[in-house]
Structure 1
Amino acid sequence: MRNLDVTTLRSFVAVADAGGVTRAAGFLHLTQSAVSMQLKRLEELLDVELLDRSGRTIALTASGEQLLIYARRIVALNDEVVERLTDQAYEGEIVLGVPHDIVYPVIPQVLKQFHVAFPRVRVRLISSYTRALKEMHEKGDCDLILTTERALDPKGEILGDKPLRWIGAPGGTAWRQTPLRLAFGRQCTFRPHVVEALDLAGIPWEIMVETESDRTIEATVSADLAIHTMIEGTEPPHLERVDHGGALPELPNQLINLYGAHSVKNVMHSTLADFLRRAFAKPEAARLKIV
């Protein structure tokens, strides 16, 4: 395997741009002999002539013209990587707020992707309820937030529109019990809509667990003591969608909204917003709805 050296390619590009070794050497702050030696090594590595030295001025051969295209791209990419990893402009912190129920499975993938793009930027993830996140965003405590809600406020952006699903223990029977036992968070925005759907269907219900802890809810549901509701596709692997065959009412869709993207501060914020859009976008969505 033969490897090209970026320093040598930079010298080659400089010679091509300057029209000669002497001027290129001055631009690179190297001696003329050092630049000539680098070009010679490059020709030996590729086993081709890159420069036509038959005339009074140096010209590129056909191989040299071809290499120049790649050399410019390699040098530019090298400089971009170095700048991205070392420039203080790509340092700092972004505060991202996400509701508990949609952290998995998407957000870890987004954070990993963003870290690759901006390794020197810290993303501080805050997980809370939609109502609390919107209050934090209004106060300026979060740069970007996601929400799960039925409507969209001004300056927000819809990333997804997904149905709520009944969730229970694998093979569980809690959904067959009367009254239907439910497990919910105290500030869960789904709860009023779920209760309304059950009342309209004439299904008696009771709250088995009311807590601030998602872990407590998952433990109760996993033990088949109650059922829960989650946005489609966000249920953890140890729970499953209840196959009730129509015995339970259909639940309304929930919007996954993004706030803060309209006032992005820099390229890091806009990139994180783009990663979130792509992660939550439906494949069939032609474009995002922006208000």
Structure 2
Amino acid sequence: MRNLDITTLRSFVAVADSGGVTRAAGFLNLTQSAVSMQLKRLEELLGLELLDRTGRTIALTASGEQLLAYARRMVTLNDELITRLTDQAFEGEIVLGVPHDIVYPAIPRVLQQFNAKFPRVKVQLVTANTRNLKDRFERGECDMILTTEPEKMPGAEVLAAIPLVWMGAPGGTAWRKRPVELAQGRSCIFRPIVLSALETAGVEWNVALDSDSDRTIEATVAADLAVMAMLDGTHPPHVEVISHGGALPALPLHFINFYGGEGEGGEVSETLGELLRATFADMTPRARLKAAV
């Protein structure tokens, strides 16, 4: 298998652009003989004449003209890759805050795609409840945050509008019991909304446990000892959406709001913002998002 060398292609492009080996050598900071040798090796590798040397100036042959377009693209791609991987402009750290309940399934995908584009930039992921994240953002401890809130907030961009739904154990019956046992974190922003919905619907309830540990709450629900509310499509595999047929009250839409997406962080921050927008947009039908916003 024959492999083209970027250095020889760069010399070929320089000769084609400058119209001569001497000027190309000066541009490349090489000797004239070095450039001539690279061109000769390139022609020998391809088995083609790339330059017409019969005139007073060097011209491209038909094969040389065909190669030139490819050579430009290969040199440009090489330089872009080297810059992206080594340029200090693409080094550093971004602190991204995300509520626990919307980390999956979206955020791992975003982090993977971002790392492929900027492998030298570290994304420090901070997970906490919405209130905590907003406090951290105000103090400058996070560059960007996502929140789950019941409305679009000033200074925020809506990425998705997703309904709250009731979650329970797969095939469980806890939702049928009265009073219904509720497992919702004490600091969870959904908790007052869920309690208000139950009160309005006249459904009796008890607090099954008083905790802010997501794992503890999920384990309680997965054991069919309680129910909880989560955003549709963000639940772990050991719980499922309850088909309650109206036995539990309907819950409202919630917004995934984005703070810090309009900052001046340059290409790196803009790319992370675009990945977040694209990923969460897939979770909300366009018509529903447009109507909600």
TM-score by length of 2: 0.94
Q: Deviations over 1:133-154 (max 9, x none)?
A: 1111111111000000011222
Partner SS state of residue 262, structure 1: coil
User: What amino acid is aligned across from residue 165 of structure 1 in structure 2?
Assistant: V
Question: Separation in 1 of the partners of 2:36 and 2:163?
Answer: 67
Q: Deviations over 1:164-210 (max 9, x none)?
A: 11111111111111110010111111111111111122111111012
Post-superposition offset of 1:237: 1.0
2:26 corresponds to: 26
1:264 corresponds to: 264
Post-superposition offset of 1:2: 2.5
1:163 corresponds to: 163
Alpha carbons 1:11, 1:35 under 8 Å: kept: yes
1:177 corresponds to: 177
Which of the two has greater strand per residue? 1
Alpha carbons 1:160, 1:256 under 8 Å: kept: yes
Alpha carbons 1:185, 1:211 under 8 Å: kept: yes
Post-superposition offset of 1:48: 2.5
Question: Separation in 1 of the partners of 2:190 and 2:94?
Answer: 28
2:278 corresponds to: 278
User: What amino acid is aligned across from residue 285 of structure 1 in structure 2?
Assistant: R
2:8 corresponds to: 8
Partner SS state of residue 209, structure 1: coil
2:207 corresponds to: 207
Post-superposition offset of 1:286: 7.9
Partner SS state of residue 274, structure 1: helix
1:101 corresponds to: 101
The answer to whether the aligner puts 1:80 opposite 2:91 as a matched pair is no
RMSD, aligned α-carbons? 1.7
Post-superposition offset of 1:272: 0.7
2:121 corresponds to: 121
Partner SS state of residue 210, structure 1: coil
Question: Separation in 2 of the partners of 1:242 and 1:287?
Answer: 22
User: What amino acid is aligned across from residue 197 of structure 1 in structure 2?
Assistant: A
Corresponding residue pairs, total: 290
In structure 2, the CA distance between the partners of 1:22 and 1:103, relative to structure 1 (3 Å rule), is: same
Partner SS state of residue 140, structure 1: coil
The answer to whether the aligner puts 1:224 opposite 2:210 as a matched pair is no
User: What amino acid is aligned across from residue 274 of structure 2 in structure 1?
Assistant: D
Partner SS state of residue 243, structure 2: coil
Partner SS state of residue 158, structure 1: strand
The answer to whether the aligner puts 1:135 opposite 2:138 as a matched pair is no
Partner SS state of residue 159, structure 1: strand
In structure 2, the CA distance between the partners of 1:86 and 1:153, relative to structure 1 (3 Å rule), is: same
Unpaired segments ≥5 residues, structure 2? none
Question: Separation in 1 of the partners of 2:213 and 2:264?
Answer: 32
Alpha carbons 2:161, 2:288 under 8 Å: kept: no
Question: Separation in 1 of the partners of 2:288 and 2:73?
Answer: 32
1:52 corresponds to: 52
- Deviating above 4 A after TM superposition, structure 1's stretches of 4 or more consecutive aligned residues are 286-289
Post-superposition offset of 1:285: 2.6
1:36 corresponds to: 36
Unpaired segments ≥5 residues, structure 1? none
Question: Separation in 2 of the partners of 1:253 and 1:117?
Answer: 33
User: What amino acid is aligned across from residue 57 of structure 1 in structure 2?
Assistant: T
